Structures are given as C-alpha cells and as structure tokens.
Amino acid sequence: MDSYQDDPRWSVAERVAAAARRRFPADVLAVAVHGPLAHGDDDGGGDGEVGLLIATYRPGAGLASATRRVDGVLVDLSVAAADEHLRRARAITALWPLTADRYVTTRPVHDPTGWLPALRDEHLARLARARPAEFTDPARQAWYRGCAAHSRAARLAGWYKTDQALLMLGEARLSAATVNGLLSRTYFRDPGDAVRRTGLAGADMTEVGAVLARQAEELTARGRPVDGTIDDLFAG
C-alpha cells in the first residue's frame, strides 16, 4: 500500500468522496486530492489539510464548494462542473503560480472515465502555447498589489503599528513571490512554498522593497513600465 494511503487524511478524503457519490450518484464525474497529500511527501498526518476537487457532469448539480473540519482534518472542497474546471485550467491569472499545482498534481479518489489526466493535459497544453505577454501582464498586476502592500507596511511600521505592518509585509512577500513565479513560469504548491522557494520567507522591509524594485525594472524591460501618466492609465 502506498504510504500516502496510510495517512489519516486519505481516509477522510475517501469518506467525503463516497458521501458525495452516495448523495449525488448521477452528478459526480471525478474526485481528486490536490495539495500536500497529492504529493505524498509530507507528514501532515491528522492535523493537516485535505484539498479535494470534485468535477460534476453539469453545473448546478447540487454539490457546492465548502470548507469544514472533519474529524480534526480541515477539508477544502472545490466543486464545479467539468467544463468549468477545464476553463479554469486554461486561465493564466495573477494567482497562477498558486493555483497551477492543483491541475498538474492530483491523486484520484474516484475517476472511472480518466478525466483527471485530461484536466492536467489541458493545463499543460495551455502553458505550451502561451505567449510571453500572457504571463507578463498578470505579473504586472501582482506587482502592483505587492507594491501597495509594501508601501502600507512601511507606513504602519512608521506609526509603530507593528502587528499590522507585519501582516502587510507578508502580503508583499507573497505578491513578490507570485511575480517571480509568473516571470519564470514557475508554480508553487502553496503560499508558504512560494515565499520559501523565492527566498522571500524571511525578507525584511528593505529586502522586499529591493526585490520589488528589480521586478519593476524587469517588467519595464518586457515592454511597459509600471509607472506612467494618466493617459497611460486609460490606454490600458
């Protein structure tokens, strides 16, 4: 038996999948685990989280996305029609570095038609044909969020609102990490993985500011500066 199947979270995932199929027998196309449990290389045990993706044959099937703790395990249920999941898999947004892993790395709990490989292939095919601008434009949006969070963190620190400043600094770190992911076409397992792999996990205010400054230069080199005039704003 694979080691991940010994994990208490896998038992919860199987029970949730069985309940969904029992309650909506004509609607459930596939159920898959994503996140750390799908990778099978962490020791989350019963205290970890289970990310479950459920694809239905049609929209509005009765199932709905939800989050609950079941037997001490946090279950994050993402439900959508199969076509909607495929549409999301084709989207490249500012959050792509944090969402791509759920399309590429899954473990099936129920997939009698082999739909999950099709979901993965749809996403990979989309990446293969993506133009550079399709990553640069969302990277620019992520940069704006990071810059705003960093500026607010600096103001809060100047007002000695340390807790709030640290919270905003964390947002700036994550945004800067997603910019790096978009510019390098690198996806991460989760926000913690993003800031670790980009070297931003322990970055202070000055270091995050320096990263954002370098990213602004790269975005400018890729075709459009982050700063502009009012006319530039309306030009898109």
Q: In this predicted model, what pLDDT tens digit does every residue of 111-165 receive, in sequence order?
A: 999 999 999 999 999 999 999 999 999 999 999 999 999 999 999 999 999 999 9
Token digits of residue 117? 């490989």
> CA-CA distance, 137 to 50, in Å (whole number)?
32
pLDDT confidence of 2, banded at 50, 70, 90?
low
**pTM metric for this prediction:** 0.90
Mean residue pLDDT across the chain: 92
The letter for the amino acid at 183 is: L
> How sure is the predictor about 178, in pLDDT bands with cuts at 50, 70 and 90?
very high
50 membership: H or E segment, kind and range: strand 49-56
Task: Give the fold, CATH level 3, of 3-129.
Answer: Beta Polymerase; domain 2 (3.30.460)
